[in-house]
Amino acid sequence: MPNETIKVKVPATTANMGPGFDCLGMALELYNEIHMRLAPGKISIQIEGEGAEDIKRDENNIVWRAAQRVFQEVGFNNPGLWIRLINQIPTSRGLGSSAAAIVGGLVAANQLIGGKLTQDRLLALATELEGHPDNVAPALLGGVVISVLAEGEVHYLKIMPPEGLNTVVAIPDFKLSTHAARDVLPQKVSLKDAIFNLSRVALLVGALCEKRLDLLYIAGQDTLHQPYRSSLVPGMQEVIQAASQAGALNVTLSGAGPTVLALTNSGSEEIARSMGQAFENAGTSCQIKLLRPAVEGTKIL
Ligand code: HSE
């Protein structure tokens, strides 16, 4: 096997998009790079950028674990690795950093062994490692992806984000683990809430396909997770309200939070300013980024 260094670039993702809990996500133009080469018997992990101070550099590292999953799948033994991570995606903020690590690790390792696994198999492995497909699918494929997990397989459909659709993300300066943000959710929901969400997620997908940006406000609402998570993100409701008043098409918690994401098609600077101000008023410091949807997913450089 040639000892070349594989380099891959993986986009950030926003999951749920409001009502599409665990089944809808969109890739964003903010990237992590993963460089990987075989280093028999070794585990060497270098990290630059986001997470450099706290991401694990041992066999618990997510990129390492994802790579090992690929090697296990094809029966490749003694797969020591040298890995370099150049991270732009903030960790534990609801922007798909763990999905990027998993997908990047899988794709890079697969490339190292000559691309033996199909994209669909990589997606199934990514979902197995992450637990749900809504971040890993757009991280791998780009665009907006609807995904359904059934009997270990992911059935998906990628749709292109409408032309001119942009996002403003307000990223609080604190971490929120997905585990903690799922712990606050009820295990049972009412029929009324189920109908509320399924009618909106159907409308949301249709609105994106038909480029009906005017429908995004109603279509992006949620009762299944956001109301329960708002107590974990001081200022979340105020930021959603401020961005809506400033002209955002729709505003949601990004993934499990704490990032709040506004969909926009104009006035992004003003929307960004209002979101920053609302978080600040609630005592939550944050950074703001204007990000375009990423049409392409993970790329081998
Ligand atoms: N759908 C997931 C959640 C995304 O909201 O918990 C975060 O991983």
pLDDT digits (tens, 9 = 90+) for 28-85: 999 999 999 999 889 999 999 999 999 999 999 999 999 999 999 999 986 799 999 9
Whole-number pLDDT of residue 3: 74
d(CA 61, CA 86): 14
* CA 25 to ligand 1 centroid distance, Å: 10
d(CA 55, CA 61): 7
For ligand 1, atom 5: residue with the closest CA: 256
* CA 79 to ligand 1 centroid distance, Å: 31
Q: Which atom of ligand 1 is nearest to the CA of 94?
A: 7
Take residue 30 and report the two structure tokens written for it.
């903010």
For ligand 1, atom 1: residue with the closest CA: 22
For residue 218, give Cα distances in angstroms to 77, 175, 215, 251.
52, 29, 6, 10
Whole-number pLDDT of residue 2: 57
* CA 267 to ligand 1 centroid distance, Å: 28
For ligand 1, atom 4: residue with the closest CA: 255
Given CATH 3.40.50.11600, say whether it is the number of domain 166-291: no
Map residue 10 onto helix, strand or coil. strand
Q: Which atom of ligand 1 is nearest to the CA of 15?
A: 4
* Amino acid (one-letter) located at 121: R
pTM over 0.85: yes
> Who contacts 190 (Cβ-Cβ below 8 Å, separation ≥6)?
none
Best residue among 13, 14, 16, 130 to mutate for probing ligand 1's pocket (most ligand atoms within 8 Å of CB) is: 16
Pocket of ligand 1 (CB under 6 A): 15-16, 21-22, 132, 134-135, 178, 181-182, 225, 255-256
Q: Which atom of ligand 1 is nearest to the CA of 134?
A: 1
Q: Name the nearest CA neighbour of 250 among 165, 181, 192.
A: 165
Q: Name the nearest CA neighbour of 253 among 94, 138, 143.
A: 94
Which parts of the chain register pLDDT below 70? 1-2, 78
Take residue 36 and report the two structure tokens written for it.
């990987």
> Where are the chain's structural domains?
6-159+295-300, 166-291
Q: Residues 259, 260, 266, CA angle at the centre, nearest 5°?
A: 130
- The domain 6-159+295-300: what is its CATH number? 3.30.230.10
Q: Residues 10, 12, 15, CA angle at the centre, nearest 5°?
A: 130
Buried b (16+ CB within 10 A) or exposed e, 240-264: bebbbebebbbbbbbbbbbbbbbbb
Best residue among 129, 135, 185, 222 to mutate for probing ligand 1's pocket (most ligand atoms within 8 Å of CB) is: 135
Helices 62-74, 119-130: axis angle to 10 degrees equals: 130
Neighbours of 195 (CB within 10 A): 11
CA 93 to chain centre: 10
- The dihedral region occupied by 154, where left means phi > 0, alpha psi between -120 and 50, and beta the remainder, is beta
d(CA 87, CA 49): 5
Map residue 221 onto helix, strand or coil. coil
* CA 178 to ligand 1 centroid distance, Å: 6
d(CA 150, CA 137): 14
